[in-house]
Structure 1
Amino acid sequence: MALLRLKGITKSFGAIHALNGVDIEIHPGEIVGLMGDNGAGKSTLVKIIAGNFPPTTGEIVLSDETVHFNQPLDARAKGIEIVYQDLALCDNLTAAENLFLGREIRKGIWPFRVMNYDAMFKKAGELFEELQSETRPRDIVRRMSGGQRQAVAIARTRLSRAKLVLMDEPTAAISVRQVEQVLALIRRLKQQGISVVLISHRMPDVFAVSDRVIVMRRGAKVADKEIKHTTPEEVTGLITGAIRAA
């Protein structure tokens, strides 16, 4: 049974048709690479899944239930999390404080409830250990490497027990060593039964971790292939239009 099914998804912004009848399935514990040139419709599709805005037409089915997201909180409540390219972290806070930002653990009796930092640091440590990350709960984000920052953003999705994590260019602008750390984190999500949609322009990264690759061009899906049945050359041809469809 598919975790997520998109049926005939379209999205129009006035006279601009960003998506044209897109059908996609994502299965439990599967990593799917989503590729396409700028303007292909990747970001629009991901924002629809994440609840940033509704489709113009089409249906979103999550675990055999048709869902309607009016805001990102609706998608999060259903187990869908997104890690944006800029990570949306606060540089002046610790890893643990970023993890619990907006959903802090408190103690005491209202109206005298205060932050339970011990509980937050403990839970953050457990999540970083689960991801086998070197990131420590008390580390300040501004002093972290790109790979450590990604670990914080990914751990935040684990806090909500996500079923599906959407990752927007997670390996952009970081070093080769840090790329390997982030890819390892993505593999660990899969090992825990979590589905991942990896939006990326980096062909080696997609082929290193994905089970399937979906290619979009001009708002339409032009390919949906298992990684073992395609090549970087074919995917490149599909992205540029040198190959029409596969």
Structure 2
Amino acid sequence: MSQASAPPLLALRGVAKSFGAVRALVDIDLEIRAGEVMAVMGDSGAGKSTLVKVIAGVEPAQEGVISWKGRAVQLTRPQHSQNLGISTVYQNLSLCDNLDVVGNLFLGGELRRFGLLDEMEMGRRTRALLDTLSIPVPDARVPVASLPSDQRQIVAIARALLREPDLLLLDKPTQAMNARQTNKFLDMIEGLRDRGLGILFISHAMGDIKAVADRVAVLRLGRNNGVFNAHTASQEMITSAITGATDHAVAHRASERKDDGL
């Protein structure tokens, strides 16, 4: 089966999530395929981080259907998503500053040999994984608190990649990086896509999105407001969907139903 005809890695249909009276996500439709970068954009409060947490199993959806490789699944705990092959890097990175790079990568999953920590093997695997990424981390035995922001981000991503996921969720990964660091990071994202990973990339930076994304899904007030080809859609078109100057939600859903033969 070709990649074009294969089911998406992940598909959301009519997904909704509320916190009390606040409807964070409403009737969300989204597809992410292997070997593509799907960017998600929207103003603050649009539901982007909630979407990540729903897919990661941290905040289970209350309505709708989530499918993984064509099969409906229940993502009610982080372990459910991880077992499928979904890894998440949150905005706060969730690193232990007092541990070194190796310790962070294997935290909770340490390797043992004859009942003792196998520091040599964990160090070897860490170095091999870091060497496949575009941003160098010269010393894997220094506390992560001493690393610059781009290297800290790489450590968080390396920890996610250690599980060999099919889908990587990135919540605003370049927010604390300067221009040079961001360019190297985007090169790394392209490399991961070329290896066949599906990537969900949340960002407020239009330049980053246009540089690396294949498609852009816009959320507005917790709802779909369009999915755009990142290579052909203008920045003005995407910005208009973000601000609400244009409303693509109805047209987008009608187009999907037509594509699905509904």
TM range (shorter): over 0.9
| Code of the aligned partner of 1:40 | A
Matched, 1:133 2:139: no
5+ residue gaps, structure 1 = none
Native 8 Å contact 1:151 1:185 kept in 2:
no
Q: Which residue of 1 aligns with 2:80?
A: 74
Native 8 Å contact 1:3 1:28 kept in 2:
yes
Q: Which residue of 2 aligns with 1:238?
A: 241
After superposition, the CA RMSD in angstroms is 1.2
Specify the SS of the correspondent of 1:167.
Answer: strand
Does 171-180 or 116-125 show the bigger shift? 171-180
| CA distance in structure 1 between the aligned counterparts of 2:21 and 2:161, rounded to whole angstroms | 39
Native 8 Å contact 2:134 2:184 kept in 1:
no
Specify the SS of the correspondent of 1:229.
Answer: coil
Compute the displacement of 1:137 (Å): 2.1
Q: Deviations over 1:148-196 (max 9, x none)?
A: 1111111111110111111011001221111112212211211211111
Native 8 Å contact 2:35 2:193 kept in 1:
yes
2:102 to 80, 91, 96: 96
Native 8 Å contact 2:216 2:230 kept in 1:
yes
5+ residue gaps, structure 2 = 1-6, 252-262
Compute the displacement of 1:90 (Å): 1.3
Compute the displacement of 1:33 (Å): 0.7
Matched, 1:106 2:112: yes
Specify the SS of the correspondent of 1:149.
Answer: helix
* 1:220-231 → structure 2 map (5 Å cutoff): 220-231=223-234
Q: Which residue of 2 aligns with 1:148?
A: 151
Native 8 Å contact 2:134 2:185 kept in 1:
no
Matched, 1:190 2:196: no
Native 8 Å contact 2:16 2:24 kept in 1:
yes
Native 8 Å contact 1:32 1:197 kept in 2:
yes
Q: Which residue of 1 aligns with 2:23?
A: 17
Q: Deviations over 1:200-230 (max 9, x none)?
A: 1111001110000000101111110111221
Compute the displacement of 1:147 (Å): 1.0
Specify the SS of the correspondent of 2:131.
Answer: helix
* Number of residue pairs aligned between Structure 1 and Structure 2: 242
Specify the SS of the correspondent of 1:162.
Answer: coil
| CA distance in structure 2 between the aligned counterparts of 1:153 and 1:188, rounded to whole angstroms | 17
Q: Which residue of 2 aligns with 1:117?
A: 119
| CA distance in structure 1 between the aligned counterparts of 2:153 and 2:34, rounded to whole angstroms | 22
Q: Which residue of 2 aligns with 1:84?
A: 90
Q: Percent identity?
A: 41
Q: Which residue of 2 aligns with 1:44?
A: 50
TM-score (norm 1): 0.95
Q: Deviations over 1:43-70 (max 9, x none)?
A: 1111110001211110110011111122
Q: Deviations over 1:83-114 (max 9, x none)?
A: 01111111121111111111111111xxxx12
| CA distance in structure 2 between the aligned counterparts of 1:201 and 1:50, rounded to whole angstroms | 20
| Code of the aligned partner of 1:99 | L
